[in-house]
Every structure is written in C-alpha cells, then in structure tokens.
Amino acid sequence: MKKQINNKLPIFDLSIPQENIWLTEQLSENTDINHIYGTLFINKKMDIEFLKIALNRVIENNDALRLRILQKDGKPMQYVSEYEYQEIPVYVVEEDKSNKIEEIIQSVRAESINLLEDKLCDFRIIACPNCVYICVKMHHIVADAWSMAQLFVEHLGLFYEVVYLVLPYLVYLSRDFCDGCDFIVFCL
C-alpha cells in the first residue's frame, strides 16, 4: 500500500538510532520486537470523552506521535503527518478487577504495527465502573520507555487542563472530578 502524503510536508532522513531500529525491524518482520507498551491505571471513574479530548490534544501537540515512515527510492524516510482527530477505541468492562481487562491489554499488545502502513502510536481506553486504564502502544522508531513515561505525564497534565481550565463553565463539571485519583503507570 503506497502512502499518499501532502506534497508540502517535509520528508527527513532517519536518525542513526532510527536506522538501526529500521534494520532490526527488517530482520524481525511481523514481531513485536520494536513495540513499546504502557498502561496507565487511574483509580477513579472519569469522563471518557474528556480523556479522548486530552489524548487528542497530546497527539496534536506531539510531533513524534504523528511520525510516519515511508520508503523513497528504497530508503526509509520519515515525516510528520498532519493532525487529524482520532477516535480512541473504548472497551467497557463491567467489573473493576476482571480477567477481561488483562485479555484486552494482551490483545492490544499482540496487534502488530506495520512500519510503513500504520500509525506508530496507538491508544485504547478501558472503562470500568470505578477506574480507567489507558493503553498505549508505540513503535520504538518514534519513542522509548522514557518517552512513554513522559507521554503519561503530559497526558495527565492536559487532562487536568481540559477538565479544570478549558471546560470550567460546564454546569455538570464537578471540582472534585479528579481529586483523590491514584495514577499508576505500568510499562510492560
């Protein structure tokens, strides 16, 4: 499948570390050798639409999450795709502690990322009655474990901004919406 990109978008060479990851990917096609996973557990019920808005703000403001890879004359190149709102998949689980949660997380981990065709960063939300999980899978060509941790910090900051600063005029928005939340990051 050939990518259609905006001709105005600049295309760049891969960095030397990215080239090494590219080569590893070529030697280990259809494996998760270069995938980075993380799950953020928020120990409180939250408004899923606000989470989606915050995640989209993170995607919009973080070029690395919009990096795409293409081949030009057989050489891997990269570009930053234009921002488009992403509908984040939501899985609803009826119990806070359920085997279904682990099954969903493992199924997300098992999905392959095609370096030339797929988004290189993917988010999923698992909504439970009293808590939320945010699953993130990224290709190592765009991020590392430190980046994953920073992503969660950025997401939480933007979520706070959306809830408390951008939308404070909403009548139904309670000031204690996020008070007392426990934020735990699991990098798998």
Please give the average per-residue pLDDT across 100-112, as a whole number. 91
pLDDT (0 to 100) of residue 162: 56
pLDDT (0 to 100) of residue 164: 55
Please give the average per-residue pLDDT across 57-75, as a whole number. 92
Flag whether pLDDT at 184 surpasses 90. Answer: no
pLDDT (0 to 100) of residue 44: 80
Please give the average per-residue pLDDT across 70-90, as a whole number. 95
pLDDT (0 to 100) of residue 28: 85
Question: How many whole angstroms separate alpha carbon 145 and alpha carbon 40?
Answer: 13
User: Beta-strand (E) ranges in 4-120?
Assistant: 12-13, 35-42, 67-72, 75-80, 90-92
Of 121, 122, 134, 124, residue with least CA distance to 183: 134
Flag whether pLDDT at 134 surpasses 60. Answer: yes
Q: Looking at the whole model, is its pTM more than 0.75?
A: yes
Tell me which of 45 and 5 has the higher pLDDT.
45
Query: What is the maximum alpha-carbon separation in the chain?
Result: 56
User: Beta-strand (E) ranges in the chain?
Assistant: 12-13, 35-42, 67-72, 75-80, 90-92, 121-127, 132-139, 183-186
Amino acid at the residue 73: D
pLDDT (0 to 100) of residue 125: 96
**Most confident region among 8-12, 14-18, 60-64, 141-145 by mean pLDDT:** 14-18
Q: Could you give all domains of the chain from N- to C-terminal order, each with its CATH number?
A: 30-65+86-170+178-186 (3.30.559.10)
Please give the average per-residue pLDDT across 22-36, as a whole number. 86
